[in-house]
Amino acid sequence: MEFLRVSRNVWGQETILGLSWDLLPIFFWAGIVFAVLHAIYSWLLAGKRK
Protein backbone atom coordinates (compact mmCIF):
# COMPACT_ATOMS: atom_id res chain seq x y z
CA MET A 1 0.00 0.00 0.00
CA GLU A 2 1.36 3.41 -0.92
CA PHE A 3 0.83 5.95 1.85
CA LEU A 4 2.17 8.92 -0.08
CA ARG A 5 1.84 9.73 -3.76
CA VAL A 6 5.02 11.29 -5.09
CA SER A 7 6.14 12.67 -8.41
CA ARG A 8 9.23 14.35 -9.82
CA ASN A 9 9.26 18.02 -10.76
CA VAL A 10 11.13 19.52 -13.71
CA TRP A 11 14.38 19.67 -11.70
CA GLY A 12 14.20 15.97 -10.80
CA GLN A 13 13.24 16.48 -7.16
CA GLU A 14 10.58 14.31 -5.55
CA THR A 15 7.44 16.21 -4.55
CA ILE A 16 4.52 14.91 -2.51
CA LEU A 17 1.23 14.92 -4.40
CA GLY A 18 -0.94 13.72 -1.52
CA LEU A 19 -1.92 10.94 0.83
CA SER A 20 -3.54 7.68 -0.08
CA TRP A 21 -7.32 7.51 0.35
CA ASP A 22 -6.79 4.12 2.04
CA LEU A 23 -5.75 6.01 5.19
CA LEU A 24 -9.05 7.89 5.54
CA PRO A 25 -10.84 5.25 7.69
CA ILE A 26 -7.84 5.03 10.02
CA PHE A 27 -7.80 8.79 10.68
CA PHE A 28 -11.60 8.87 10.96
CA TRP A 29 -11.69 6.20 13.67
CA ALA A 30 -8.64 7.68 15.43
CA GLY A 31 -10.53 10.98 15.63
CA ILE A 32 -13.63 9.27 17.01
CA VAL A 33 -11.58 7.41 19.63
CA PHE A 34 -9.81 10.64 20.63
CA ALA A 35 -13.11 12.50 21.00
CA VAL A 36 -14.67 9.75 23.11
CA LEU A 37 -11.61 9.41 25.36
CA HIS A 38 -11.43 13.18 25.77
CA ALA A 39 -15.12 13.33 26.70
CA ILE A 40 -14.68 10.56 29.28
CA TYR A 41 -11.57 12.21 30.72
CA SER A 42 -13.31 15.60 30.92
CA TRP A 43 -16.36 14.04 32.56
CA LEU A 44 -14.22 12.30 35.19
CA LEU A 45 -12.15 15.43 35.81
CA ALA A 46 -15.25 17.63 36.12
CA GLY A 47 -16.68 15.16 38.63
CA LYS A 48 -13.62 15.52 40.86
CA ARG A 49 -13.63 19.33 40.82
CA LYS A 50 -17.15 19.68 42.31
> Is the model's pTM score more than 0.85?
no
Residue 20 confidence (pLDDT): 83
- pLDDT of res. 28: 96
Q: What is the pLDDT of residues 1-50, one digit of tens each?
A: 678 888 999 999 999 888 888 889 999 999 999 999 999 998 888 766 65
Question: What count of other Cβ atoms lies within 10 Å of the Cβ of residue 20?
Answer: 11
Number of domains in the chain: 1
- Domain with 16 in it: 4-49
| Residues 15, 33 contacting (CB under 8 angstroms) | no
Q: What is the pLDDT of residue 2?
A: 77
Contact present, 20 and 1 (Cβ < 8 Å): yes
